[in-house]
Structure 1
């Protein structure tokens, strides 16, 4: 993208505070959503049955780390970019805001010196008694180096011929080869653990998490606690109960064959399959078609598997298999009328191998539903390979993935993804990828996506007549941002209408590692072809953006081939940018109507066009449809002198951290 590489100087470090800063002492519970006051995101994001409390708002004798958005640091990957660091013997104590019998703790502990992770205890007491111990692990965290990453903190460069931003060089072409600091680019620090308390506690009771001196962890970082009142187990009496077919609820024996027998019987007898409470060991795919499978609830029915190396690569090039519920692939006829609900899928994936099918749910599922699952430690939570149609993905929790949470890949149509909660993915949270065949008529609505460590919260790669609405996206980390529409990865062209409506994106607008520039909280990217569809962005809120709120961009090598035109932005609120409201680095144009902004850190429109700087002005035109108000340190963000195509190009304007978002 850049004509001349420059050495990285990340202005976002202005958000850092000294590590020695004292933690706050707060008695009353502070309930947040994506570390924001709930009033700021009312009506947006997943409608969930738990309450979030950030550790930095709780009582503690530990140390608050952050806020800091510097890549490869613990605060940068924390919800709200802050957390609490405990040394052995220290605690953080939360006051329950409502009755609860279960908690979920998001945390980080150190890696083993040679990689592979450690385990450590965390003591849980309520009201100073009823002590229990959780077992934390870093075996599924801590990735290093260049894509697709490694578990080895001492590894040399995986790609010695790749551009390295930190030294502004291509190491293979550099004499002498630059020395990299090891571990190189550590990331994916956090994991989370659910825990049943054994009884119901009332609002006002105090849950204390203590890092005990007996553990092996030199430190424990607590990011947040989710508290929940979990309903009793769901029971289905008239069903094909997997126990009757030999499944082992203790997890000692493998239960895959028993699941297959239960499914076959249920289809013949026209019954549902029921999986009662227990932990079931399943180390391969369970193939599903024309069947309903119900668990007792995701807290009670746990399908847990090991990753298994295959003796030789499978036809799809997988070199491992693992736990997952898969429809048949399209070339095998696809699957339909599948309904999965009420259980957890816990994998054993610790490295990224893109050819591996080690996902929680996969294949092609038409006329199907996936509801109320909890998916953790798989590669992708749900990866669907179409063509397929009319699938509803609702009320699921997908956390701690090596890659995406959900991807509609190739020809998925008329399907809905709603009220899903996603946190800590290793790639896009939610994606539609129209490779070879367009995805069409799909909707991502009322989902929450937090802390993707790579890529975007929500990404749409080509397709026709798709919608992204009422979602909450927070804290993307690197090489992506909040919401993305991209002509890339061989996707079919955008066609028809792409509606991006009433979403809130907070603490996005990230640093792009390869280009050494800041992105937008929402960004459109023309790489493979021009973007010329009817793209309407309406009613979005972009809060506390690290760099820009909105970006339209093309790759430097194709900037004279492809453009982005006709995008319409209307009824947008921008509360805080480190740099600009709009950054244009492409030919084309966009219109703006009723876009209100405040706390803008640099010139409102950073218009570079396609970098020819012609006497006629930028190759990107800005159309004023009225009602564009507000601004920041340089005055009105939509000043008349910038229209329609004044060149205002500044590759890296100084970052001015805005104040926290507030009611408009």
Structure 2
């Protein structure tokens, strides 16, 4: 079952809709910006050292482009358009305004990340966006906010006029439990708007050359009061793949490539024939309507490329809830349940899955890919508008998830849940998830010997970029994680959500995080770019954090914390940081709010906003010092205005506890000499 872990019931400061739309940064025009400025996660690619995914497209931020619109941001405040943008800035256009980009390479396809307002009572609107190249060759995209704009407390609502969903939950806006407060607090509406952005793809009429200028313009009559442009992705998509020899064409089984009729039965028939004959199922270019799960086992399904083969479905309400609690179904490719042995030797390749999920219902099985797969692969997919891109329930083993794009999910991007072993998640691009970008959740069984390598995770609206909840012998390496929005970090190791304890060696190596560490709205403290959290067990596995770059940290770079209620039960030990670069912290390099200890070697820091170490330990403040010990193994250099970040007087456990230090926004990261 795909029951999602319940998130923290936290809150933020009250904001009005205008603040959500506008952000808090200074608005200004950039009418004469330079030509093609290619970024990765909103910074120069040279600063990422080759980390993250490479799927053949170039990212350009609108705030670097030419425009007669208004730049919003930078802003890290939750519930604002700027804070959910890549780089925490975007360009807002009113009808008649434009933003234009110089193409950095030959281009025949674009992806626009954008936001337009919701309808006054929810449900979204549609609005046009004109695309022209060199002043002509105009095409028009139809943007929508039907898959964006969530409100209120977890698990959220699409209704901007709704009051608190959970009157018995603590709410930070009023510092109260509403149904126990007299008089009952009056909450503003819309309450906590979020998840503003969506993206849309467009194949251009032909291939344009490097140096050509592409303009995105809002027509004068647009019904959208503002159209906010975040990022333009450009690429040169190769021609459609050719049909494999001896494959079975789904059209021969009745599939409709026009999308006019439901092709689910045709897919089932093609899969059954392929299983009997050992042949591949071929899905040629087209849009195929599929409104339920396709169950796959011992089969390969091959598309012509995810720009050409699109499998798209409506969300369908079930007449009665399913045994797993689902009240809807929708398009998705599912392995058999692990309790039935799971599926084996399944290979899903080179097609798009376009869902129709607009609300978060955690019991619903409306994921792009689900079930259990062993000895299988998922490669070259584009998964859009499903609940979770890929949610897999173990036990299962030997799965390879590579070269996929997952965008605009209501919940996670990829989740290995419970006993997924010897599997790889590599070279995937994940953007705008409503929960963790990539998670390994070891409940009730341990995920083990899994590798999360060279993925890019951008702008997870809730929770973490990459999260490990328990498990053994796990590796997180070479990833690029940027701009987590609320209640999470770029990378978290947490003993929570009923997960088994960590075991073996946990390696977090050679990753880059950018503008990470959000404000934890219940604790009212800033989180680290990497966050180690002992909530349900001690965290005492061999944790090696080495070779990572923590850039432009909103608060701390490194945070080790236990919850107040269990601070005398659980500790964090056997953690080792080495060969780390920290460029910019709003507060500290290390914040320790737990008992235990960690070693540090060759951790170089600069542009530190506060003291290097904020050591509160377990908040007992004994005469012997903090309950958290820092061990200096040498080579720890740099710091900020207060001197070296790891000074001798801080060792091993001097209490340097400032519960909420003043935040000093760091300068933009720059090359290391």
Matches within 5 A, 1:348-359: 348-359=356-367
Instruction: Say whether residues 1:606 and 2:601 are aligned partners.
Output: no
Quick check: 1:336–1:367 contact (8 Å CA) kept in 2? Answer: yes
Match of 1:545 in 2: 553
Contact 2:423–2:449 (CA<8 Å) still a contact in 1? Answer: yes
Distance 1:659-1:639 versus aligned 2 partners, 3 A rule: same
Q: Does residue 284 of the first structure (1) align with residue 292 of the second (2)?
A: yes
Give a deviation string over 1:131-188, Cα, whole Å, max 9, x none: 1100100000000000000000000001112122222222223222222221111100
CA contact (8 A) 2:23 2:80 kept: no
Q: Does 1:214 align with 2:221?
A: yes
292, 299, 315: which one pairs with 2:307?
Answer: 299
Contact 1:24 1:56 in 2 (8 A): no
Alpha-carbon separation, structure 2, partners of 1:172 and 1:19: 39
Partner of 2:406: 398
| Residue in structure 1 matched with residue 668 of structure 2 by the alignment | 660
SS in 2 for 1:260: helix
Note if 1:28 corresponds to 2:35: yes
Aligned to 1:420: 428
**Matches of 2:559 and 2:75, distance apart in 1:** 23
Q: Does the aligned pair in 2 maintain the 1:165–1:516 contact within 8 Å? A: no
| Number of the residue aligned with 1:325 | 333
Q: Aligned partners of 1:7 and 1:100: how far apart in 2? A: 42
The partner residue of 2:192 within 180, 185, 198 is 185
The CA distance in 1 between the partners of 2:76 and 2:118, in whole Å, is: 21
Aligned-pair CA distance for 1:75? 0.3
Which stretch shifts more, 559-568 or 468-477? 559-568
Matched, 1:362 2:370: yes
Deviations 1:341-373 (A, max 9, x none): 010001000000011110000100000000000
- Paired with 2:431 and 2:519, the residues of 1 have a C-alpha distance of 20
Partners of 2:11 and 2:522 within 8 A in 1 = no
Aligned mate of 1:140, from 133, 143, 147: 147
Tell me the TM-score normalised to structure 1 length. 0.97
Instruction: After superposition, give the CA deviation of every residue in 1:240-279 in whole Å (9 maximum; x if it has no partner).
Output: 1000000001111000000010111112122100000110
**Which residue of 442, 448, 453 corresponds with 1:440?**
448
Q: Distance in 2 between matches of 1:17 and 1:463?
A: 40
Match of 2:7 in 1: none
Please tell me whether the aligned partners of residues 124 and 146 of structure 2 are also in contact (alpha carbons under 8 angstroms): yes
Q: How far off its partner does 1:635 sit?
A: 1.5
2:78 matches 1:71: yes
Alpha-carbon distance in structure 2 between the residues aligned to 1:180 and 1:634 = 42
The reply on whether 1:226 has 2:233 as its aligned counterpart is yes
Supply the distance in 1 between the matched residues of 2:182 and 2:447 (Cα, whole angstroms): 47
Preserved CA contact (<8 Å) 2:98 2:216: yes
Cα distance, 1:117 vs structure 2: 0.3
Q: d(CA) in 2 for partners of 1:275 and 1:6?
A: 45
After TM superposition, the structure 1 = structure 2 runs for residues 128-167 of structure 1, keeping only pairs within 5 Å, are 128-167=135-174
Q: 2:98 aligns with which of 91, 103, 126?
A: 91
3-state SS in 2 of match to 1:267: helix
1:82 aligned residue (86, 89, 100): 89
What is the rounded CA distance, in whole Å, between the counterparts of 1:517 and 1:375 in structure 2? 34
SS at match of 2:39: coil
Answer yes or no: is the 8 Å Cα contact 2:11–2:521 preserved in 1.
no
Q: Please, which runs of 5 or more residues in structure 2 have no aligned partner?
A: 1-9
Q: Give 1:235 deviation, angstroms.
A: 1.7
Q: Deviations over 1:170-221 (max 9, x none)?
A: 2223222222221111100000000000200000111100011222101100
Q: TM-score, normalised by structure 2?
A: 0.96
Deviation of 1:453 after TM superposition, in Å, equals 0.1
* Structure 1 counterpart SS, 2:173: helix
- The CA distance in 2 between the partners of 1:409 and 1:345, in whole Å, is 21
Residue 45 (structure 2) aligns with: 38
Structure 1 window deviating more from structure 2 (164-173 vs 543-552): it is 164-173
How many pairs does the alignment contain? 657
C-alpha offsets along residues 608-655 of structure 1, whole Å, 9 cap, x if unaligned?
111111111111111111111011122211011111111111111110
Q: Distance in 1 between matches of 2:11 and 2:415?
A: 35
For 1:650 and 1:167, how far apart are their aligned partners in 2? 25
Match of 1:58 among 58, 62, 65: 65
Partner of 2:125 in structure 1?
Answer: 118
Residue 607 to residue 16, structure 1, CA distance change in 2 (3 Å): farther
Q: Secondary structure at the match of 1:262?
A: helix
d(CA) in 2 for partners of 1:553, 1:186: 29
CA drift of 1:19 comes to 4.2
Could you say which residue in structure 2 is the equivalent of 1:597?
Answer: 605
Q: Is the 8 A contact 1:7 1:168 kept in 2?
A: no
Q: 1:632 to 1:205 in 2, by over 3 A?
A: same
Alignment partner, residue 6 of structure 2: none
- Pair 366,73 (structure 1): closer, same or farther in 2 beyond 3 Å: same
